[in-house]
Amino acid sequence: MSIKCRLLLFFSCIACQLLYSQQTAGNARPNIIIILADDLGYGDLGIYGGDVPVPNLARMAREGLRFTDFHSNGAVCSPTRAALLTGRYQQRMGIEKALGEDEKGLGDEKAKQEITIAKYLRDTGYATGIIGKWHLGYTVEQSPVNYGFDEFWGTLHGAGDYHSRINTFGRYDWWHNKDTVKEKGYSTDLITRHAIDFMKDHRKGPFFLFVSHKAIHFPWQTPGDTAFRKEGFKYRDVQGPLNRLGQHSPQESREVIRQMIIEMDKSVGEIFAALRKLKLDKNTLVLFCSDNGGIVQYRGGYTNISSNQPFRGEKGDVYEGGQRVPAIAWWPGKIRQGKVSNATLMTMDLAPTFLELARTKLPSATGPNRLDGVSISSLLFDGQESAARKLFWKAGNSCAVRYDKWKLVVNGMNARPELYNLENDKTESKDLSASEPGLVKELAADLEKWKQDVYSKNKP
């Protein structure tokens, strides 16, 4: 064989290897990170018109896709987390409010058939971790490691001191897997550190990492504060709002919240810096959102806490302020930079999206674990929105149904339905029920049909 032929063969082999490696990299299953804020209002962040500068989230939005009509499934903590992890309406598993001390969450009989996205992904080769707040069961038996997560660092309860780790029941609540561990530091910093450690440990991927921040949930504390709760301290035993909100006065609360948001934004920046340093950024999808709207006011004079502007309502409400939340998706080279989506989405849409991207088989559409959410991958990568669908919320005795621009709100069993056109009335201030009786009747019927579906014992 001539030297010319040998050189041609050599370079042809090199070219084939390069092409193969590129195709392999392009087809590699992505790492997936969900960063969940707690009680963060739509109007808190500067990038949503708020007064708190968040340079790292702003960069994430510039380099990714920012959503304007993203909704939490629940108006409080536990319901949204259940929907996020299962891709299903939380009503199906009986998780409709922030779990009380004796409630089992995913360990309840109603939820025994549920399978989390962590389990789906782990069964197909993903390393799975949750760092931070769980709030889906308080005992070792209800630990995240029993629901598909390989590793857990964080708190089982929904609220605890950021310095002492004492929860509202007066118990120490900081865990590594199934054991409590003593660690010093501010909770946001600890969550960040363990999240980065998980990324380092599983850099060869693929991994699924759930970074579940405690911030900005009460007690409201900054890194410079001292521990407020001590062992045996039960907030119900102490009168007044300071028993749960922390050591700051009403006049100080907004500035404390601002600082907590800034610390959380720093955490986001550190996670992105670690992704780049580990050279994981090109094959990692990151999605940031909040578990519900912010608390705007609280008894005892707390009137300027969080902001859900321009929307009506707050945490616990089915009005927009209770469940329309900030959300951003980021994946360099995959998601178009600097785009804004007005598509109407819900937390439960994340599970089917992640499963599709991980090339994991979805549950049967007629089986006991059928998904209520829909994949938004086409929206993320091509800007293609799914067809309008009817979406539902329930918080206490209040319910709502959304279809396209229309939203029906029913605040109680015997309450008169309220109808709003969100296209023209984002603040839900102009009730159009009297002028649209046919639409009210149709949406009310859809709401009742949905209730029969999600509360039926004989249906998935």
Q: What is the secondary structure of 193-241 as a DSSP string?
A: HHHHHHHHHTTTS-EEEEEE--TTSSS---TTSPP---TT--GGGS-ST
Considering 13, 16, 77, 157, which one is annotated as catalytic?
A: 77
Residue 202 catalytic?
Answer: no
Burial category of 26 from C-beta neighbours within 10 Å (exposed 0-12, middle 13-18, buried 19 and up): exposed
Cα–Cα distance, 212 to 223 (Å, whole number): 18
Considering 135, 157, 202, 217, which one is annotated as catalytic?
A: 135
Cα–Cα distance, 358 to 34 (Å, whole number): 14
Cα–Cα distance, 252 to 262 (Å, whole number): 16
Residue 13 catalytic?
Answer: no
DSSP E strands, 13-135: 31-37, 65-71, 127-133
Backbone angles phi, psi at 307, to 5 degrees: -135, 130
**Amino acid identity at 292:** N
Q: Give the residue among 193, 239, 241, 240 at the shortest CA–CA distance from 219.
A: 241
Q: How many CA atoms lie within 13 A of 164 on its CB side?
A: 18
Strand pairing of 151-155 and 345-346?
unpaired
Q: How many CA atoms lie within 13 A of 168 on its CB side?
A: 21
Are the beta carbons of 217 and 38 closer than 8 angstroms?
A: yes
Q: At which residue do the structure tokens 């299953």 appear?
A: 29
Expressed in percent and rounded to 5, the helix, strand and coil fractions of the chain are 35, 20, 45
457: left (phi over 0), alpha (psi -120 to 50) or beta: alpha
DSSP E strands, 377-450: 390-395, 398-403, 406-411, 418-421
Which residues does the annotation mark as catalytic? 77, 135
